[in-house]
């Protein structure tokens, strides 16, 4: 730990995002490839901030119909009931199954929204070149990456409820249009996180301008 910490980029090196090999991209070349795995080599993911913003906004738009449209419609000879995600959580709330209701609430409502807020915060602080709480921010990024996939929970719940409750003409369940938008939110936010380059958090403002491509 005696040496001064230096990023690979500041030394003209790039760590391959696929195989991890650190190599020196040839100077002046428009596009370098990793000598080991052939992956395109760049010091920072190209247009990371712009792509991530675009996907965050897309997910935010999808989030509205995902929560307002019904995800399940339960039909009996007496009529049908449509449930949105939130109504599904309320229905699950009972003295015996309330822990599961909390899990579904967190996975379907809190995680997607929290993920979008966290990404927006990371994008804004990176754009501003903030030098504060870098370690906490990279931890936030790792958390978002790790728990984001759990939002898929509700898609699986709906799928198997629909598959099982097919007892026509007694009772049957159909998936509502909300489930498409909800699945869209999950996929788009996962891709958004993958487009964010956490190494930007550590770049000092003047360094960022040097090699942004």
Partner 1 sequence: MSDRRAPHPLLLACPDCDLLQRLPQVAAGTTVYCARCHTPLWRCNTDSPNRTLALALAAGILLLIANTVPMLGLSVAGRETFTTVIGGVLAMWHEGRQVVAMLVLFTAVLAPALEIACLLTVAVAVRRSLAPPWVGMLLRSYELIREWSMIEIMLLGVLVALIKIAELATVIPGLALFVLGTLVFLLAAMAAVFDPRDAWARVAWTASAPNELGAQRLPEAMP
Determine the Cα–Cα distance for residues 171 and 78; give it in Å rounded to an integer: 10
At closest approach, how far in Å is the CB of 154 from partner 1?
Answer: 8
Helix (H, G, I), strand (E, B) or coil at 30: coil
Start-to-end CA distance of the chain, whole Å, equals 31
Give yes or no for residue 208 binding partner 1 (CB under 8 A): no
Give the residue among 10, 98, 58 at the shortest CA–CA distance from 190.
58
Which residue among 42, 105, 144, 154 contacts partner 1 (CB under 8 A)?
A: 154
Give yes or no for residue 91 binding partner 1 (CB under 8 A): yes
Which residue among 54, 58, 69, 165 contacts partner 1 (CB under 8 A)?
A: 165
Please report where in the chains the tokens 């989030």 appear, as a residue: 63
Which 60-79 residues touch partner 1, going by CB under 8 A?
none
The two structure tokens encoding residue 76: 């009996």
What lies within 8 Å, CB to CB, of 65 at 6+ separation is 177, 178, 181
Which 105-124 residues touch partner 1, going by CB under 8 A?
none
Give yes or no for residue 23 binding partner 1 (CB under 8 A): yes
Give yes or no for residue 9 binding partner 1 (CB under 8 A): yes
Give yes or no for residue 33 binding partner 1 (CB under 8 A): yes
Give yes or no for residue 82 binding partner 1 (CB under 8 A): no
- Find out whether 141 and 198 touch, Cβ atoms under 8 Å: yes
- Find out whether 190 and 148 touch, Cβ atoms under 8 Å: yes
Give yes or no for residue 204 binding partner 1 (CB under 8 A): no
Give yes or no for residue 55 binding partner 1 (CB under 8 A): no
Give yes or no for residue 150 binding partner 1 (CB under 8 A): yes
Give yes or no for residue 143 binding partner 1 (CB under 8 A): no
């Amino acid at each position: 730990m005696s040496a001064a910490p230096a990023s690979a980029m500041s030394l003209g090196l790039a760590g391959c995002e696929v195989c991890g090999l650190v190599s020196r991209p040839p100077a002046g070349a428009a596009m370098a490839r990793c000598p080991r795995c052939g992956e395109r080599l760049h010091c920072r993911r190209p247009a990371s901030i712009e792509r991530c913003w675009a996907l965050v906004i897309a997910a935010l738009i999808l989030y509205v119909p995902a929560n307002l449209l019904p995800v399940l419609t339960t039909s009996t000879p007496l009529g049908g009931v449509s449930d949105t995600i939130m109504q599904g959580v309320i229905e699950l709330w009972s003295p015996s199954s309330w822990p599961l209701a909390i899990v579904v609430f967190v996975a379907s409502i809190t995680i997607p929204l929290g993920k979008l807020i966290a990404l927006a915060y990371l994008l804004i602080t990176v754009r501003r070149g903030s030098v504060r709480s870098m370690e906490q921010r990279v931890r936030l990024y790792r958390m978002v990456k790790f728990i984001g996939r759990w939002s898929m929970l509700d898609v699986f719940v709906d799928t198997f409820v629909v598959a099982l409750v097919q007892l026509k003409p007694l009772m049957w369940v159909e998936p509502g249009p909300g489930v498409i938008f909800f699945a869209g939110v999950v996929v788009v936010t996962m891709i958004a996180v993958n487009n964010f380059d956490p190494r930007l958090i550590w770049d000092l403002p003047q360094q960022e301008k040097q090699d942004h491509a």
